[in-house]
Structure 1
C-alpha cells in the first residue's frame, strides 16, 4: 500500500503578542448528540448554528441513509454568530421517520459516529453496514457491540469486536439492564443512553471496569436527554455509583442552538498564553457540560488570567497571557481531549509539567501519548511517556516537521508550538477539518497574516 504524502504547512510564527477576537464554530459533541436525539424524536426539531465538519457531516449522512430527513437552511434571522463552519443563520431541520435498511454508513474516524449509531441501527428495520477509515478498525468498539447483543440486538462483526460490522435491525430493541466496561471510552455509556429511551424496557447501564474517563461528556449526554423529555437517573443526582438509567418514553423535538466548541477554542486561548497577548471568545456559555470549560482554570494556573464578561449578545471569555508560561501537574482524566494542546504549551513553559490520568488517549484518533512524545522530542523537546500520561521538561525547541497522524488535535498542537518556534512545518494541517474546517484561515487571521 502506498503511503499518502501530505503537504507541509508552514506554521505562522508570532512576532509579538496576539490580540484577537475569535468566533468559534459549534460544538461537535453537542451537534452529534443533538442529531441522534432529534432523529429518535417523535416530532421534527431544529438545530441552529450546528457545526459543519467532517464528523458532523458523517453523522448527518448516516442518519439520512437510515431514513431520517435533514433539511439545511440559511437565514439571516438567526441571532448571534458561531463562525463560518455552521454559523449565524444556518439551521438543520431534522424530520424523524421510520428507521430502515439496507444502508451503508461511513464512520470515517469519528468516535461519536461509530459508537452512537449502532444502537440507533438496532432500532431500524433492516441491515445497516458500518465501515470507516483504517484507523477506525483499531478503535475500541467491543463494549458497545457486546452490550447491544445482551440487550437483544443482532450484530455481525466476525467476532472482531470492531469495525467493519453489520447491525441487523429488527425494528425494536428489548433493552433492560446491561453491564459494560467503559474504561476505554465514556462514549460506550453515552451510546446506550442516547437510544435507551426508545428501547422497549429503557436501559440500565452499569459500568464495571476501571476509572471512567471523560465524565463531562456523560453529563452532557444526560443533560441533553433530559432536555428532550427523557427520565434519567444518574450517580450525580443521588443515583447508584456507576449506574445510569433511562426510562422508556417518547422523545420531544426541540429547537436547540448549539454552543461554541470550547475545546476548539483551546489553540486560540493558548496563543494568548504563549505570546502574552489577549484573545476574546464570544458566546462562551455561563453554564456548560463541555470539557473545554476547564481551560479557564488550567490556563490560568499556567500563567494567564481570564474574565467572563457580559455583552449585548450574551457572554464572552477574555483570556490574557501573563508573559510567562508555567508548568503544571494535573489529572486530565475528565478532559483528556485537551491533552495535546496542554502538552504543546507545557513544552514552552518555564518549569516541568506532569499530565496524568490519560492512558485512554492511546486509543483515540491516534496513540496521542506516543505521538506527542515523538513529535515534541523531534523538535528538541524532552517528553517522557508514563503509564497514564506524559512528563514534560521544557527545552529550547527548534524548527522541523511536526507529524499529525491524521489527528486534528495533533495538528493544532503543532501550530501552537510554531507560534513560539520558527520554521515548524505541520504535516497535513487539513486534518483539522474533522472538527474545525476553517482552522488555517482562522489561525492566519488571528495573527493578522
Structure 2
C-alpha cells in the first residue's frame, strides 16, 4: 500500500515559536551501550524514543541486558553476571550507530549473533570494523562481503590490544570500537590511517561519555586509547538533539521570524551546536541565553561557503536553506555523505533540481545557485534528513509533496506534528 505524500506547509507569516526537541539519538545510543556494559544499573534520563534507539534497545535485550521503561526514562540493567549471551538475531535497520556499535558488543557475548538490517544498510561501510575485530581475534562470518549481513561468533571475552583502521568513511567506526573497549581484557588502542575522519564532534562525544561512565581514555591526533576497567552506573542525562533543530531554527531565517529551542547546552560535543555560527553566517541573529537558543530572521538571507566535514548531518537542511537564499552557496568537505542512509549528495541534487533548482555536485560537496522553485514531489530515499530538508523548502515553496514522511521516525517521531504546531504558533 502506498504511503500518501505529505504536503509541506507554507509559512504565511513569520514564525514565532518555542520548539522543545526530543533527546539526542547519538547520545542515547551511546548511553545504552555503556549502560549495558556497566557493572551496575543505569538510568538513561530523557532518551530519544525513535526507530534507531528502539533498535538499539532491542539489540541489547536480545543479548541479555534489561532495558525497561520508567516513565520517560529507560532503566538499564546489565546481566547479573555481566555476561552477555547469544544466540541472537539483531536488526540494525538503517541505523549507523547500531550497525557500527553492536558488533564489538556481540564479540563480548557468548554464542552466535547474526546482524542484518535494511537493504541500504548492506551498502554502508563496515569493512574497517570487521577487520579490526578480526585483528583482535573475533570470529566473524561475512561471506567475504565486508558488509552486512554477518554473524559474530562471540566467546564471552575479547583480549583487546591495538588496531589500525581507515575511518574516513565514518567516525562511528572508531566510536563503535571505543565504546566496548573498557570490557576488553587489555583495553584498546585505535589508530586511524587515511583521509581525515569526518564528524569529529561525535568522537569527542564518545570520549566524553566514556569518561563520564568511569573509563580511562586518552585521545590524541588520530589515536585513541581506552584502558580496561569497570563502568559505573547511575544516571546519564540526554541533551536535546541539536542536529534535529536545524530545520526549526532555519524556519526563523526563511520567514523572518523567531524560533527558540529550550535546553540548548552551553557546553556540548553535539555537532548540531555548529548551527549557531552557520545560521549567523547566513544572516540570522543568534543568541544563547537562559531560555535556550533563539534564532531571529533579520531580513538578510545570504548564501554560505562552508566546510561541513565535521557536521555533515546538517547538510540536507542547509542545502535546502541555501536553495532559498539570496546568493550562491558552496557546501564542501562532505564526500562521505555518499555512504549515508542514501547518497545524500546525489539525492539533494536530484530533488532540488527537480523543483527547478540549480545544484551541482562537486567531488566533495555541492554548489547551489538559488533560482525560483516550484512545487512537486520531493523524494526522500528512506532518509530522515531528506524529510526535514523538504519541510524547510515547503515554508517558501507552495506545493512541495514529501514522499514517505514516516521515515523521519528514524530519529524524530512526531516531526510533522511538531512542524505544523510551530507554524500554527505564527
Provide TM-score, normalisation by structure 2: 0.98
Taking the TM superposition and a 5 Å limit, the aligned residue runs for 1:20-169 are 20-74=17-71, 90-97=72-79, 98-169=83-154
In structure 2, what is the Cα distance between the partners aligned to 1:361 and 1:397?
24
1:197 paired residue among 165, 177, 182:
182
- RMSD between superposed Cα atoms in Å: 0.8
| Rounded Cα–Cα distance in structure 2 between residues aligned with 1:190 and 1:132 | 20
Contact 1:274 1:324 in 2 (8 A): no
Distance in 2, matches of 1:134 and 1:150, equals 27
2:383, 2:73 → 1: CA distance?
Answer: 28
Decide whether the 8 Å contact of 1:105 with 1:128 is kept in 2.
yes
Once the two structures are superposed, residues 244-279 of structure 1 have per-residue CA deviations (whole angstroms, 9 ceiling, x without a partner) of 000011111130111000000111001111101000
Question: In the TM superposition, what whole-angstrom CA distance separates every residue of 1:321-367 from its partner, at most 9, and x where no partner exists?
Answer: 11231000010000000000100000001100000000000000000
Unaligned runs of 5+ residues in structure 1 are 75-89, 236-240
How many pairs are equivalent? 422
Q: Which range is displaced more, 52-61 or 301-310?
A: 301-310
Does the alignment pair 1:392 with 2:392? no
Counterpart among 286, 295, 302 of residue 326 in structure 1: 302
Equivalent residue for 2:166?
181
Question: Match of 2:243, SS?
Answer: coil
- Whether 1:364 and 2:364 are equivalent positions in the alignment is no
Residues 425-447 of structure 1: per-residue CA shift (max 9 Å, x gap): 00011111000001000011001
Q: Which of 186, 206, 223 in structure 1 is aligned with 2:208?
A: 223
**SS at 1:392 equivalent:** strand
Where structure 2 has 5 or more consecutive residues not aligned to the other structure, the ranges are none
Cα offset, 1:44, TM superposition: 0.5
Contact 1:207–1:243 under 8 Å retained in 2: yes
Q: How does 1:10-21 map to 2 (within 5 A)?
A: 10-21=7-18
Deviation by residue 1:270-308 (Cα, 9 ceiling, x = unmatched): 111110100010100010000000000000100101111
2:318 is matched with which residue?
Answer: 342
1:122–1:153 contact (8 Å) kept in structure 2: yes
1:130-165 deviations in whole A, cap 9, x for unaligned? Answer: 011000000000110000000111100001000001
2:404 is the alignment partner of 1:404? no
- In structure 1, the residue matched to 2:400 is 424
Task: Note the C-alpha offset of 1:318.
Answer: 1.1
SS in 1 for 2:406: helix
Once residues 23 and 35 of structure 2 are traced to their aligned partners in structure 1, the CA distance between those partners, rounded to angstroms, is 17
CA positional deviation for 1:6? 3.2
2:285 is the counterpart of 1:309: no
